[in-house]
Amino acid sequence: MTGEIVYADLNIPSEWPCLRPPQASQHLEGSGCKLCPATWLLHRDKCYWVSGKMKPWNESRDDCSAKHSQLLVIRDGEELEFIKNSTQDSTFVWIGLSLSSLGKTWIWLNGSQLNQTLFPLPVQDNGNSCGAVKGNRIQSDACTTEYEWICQRETVLI
């Protein structure tokens, strides 16, 4: 089958939002639809997956990597509100935030520093602190503590 062209019929329901003309209240970014894998939640331009299991921060980070994603990097208060609603304040969940090796700065997995104005978080002295979220607040805890975790990945645009 190498080098062959394969055609497929797609059975997409006509009520699928991407096939309907946009409503006056909808905001479309470019053309096309944003898709997430099954069991992932779509919000803006990200897909989110909540684990339902408990692991330490490092294992949570590795699990997200195995899913071709990363632990959640929260951009703003609106995204934090979406996460709060998605987890229903059930428990703390690991996010992609950890204290730098020097123990002075909170760093997201994408390399950016935590905006302390948006998310005030005290600096811990033990150097083994990671970020977790519950409700609308971020808290630090020992990275060896077991929590659920949230993975994120970009949407697929079709």
Give the C-alpha separation, 138 to 119, whole Å. 7
Instruction: Enter the pTM of the model.
Output: 0.75
DSSP conformational letter for 55: B
CB-CB contact of 82 with 106 (8 Å): no
CATH class as words, domain 33-157: alpha beta
3-state secondary structure (DSSP) of residue 60:
helix
Taking only the tens place, the pLDDT of each residue in 91-108 is 889 999 998 877 678 899
pLDDT of residue 26: 34
pLDDT of residue 25: 32
Task: State which residues of the chain have pLDDT below 50.
Answer: 10-11, 13-15, 21-29
Specify the DSSP element, H or E, that contains 132. Answer: strand 129-134
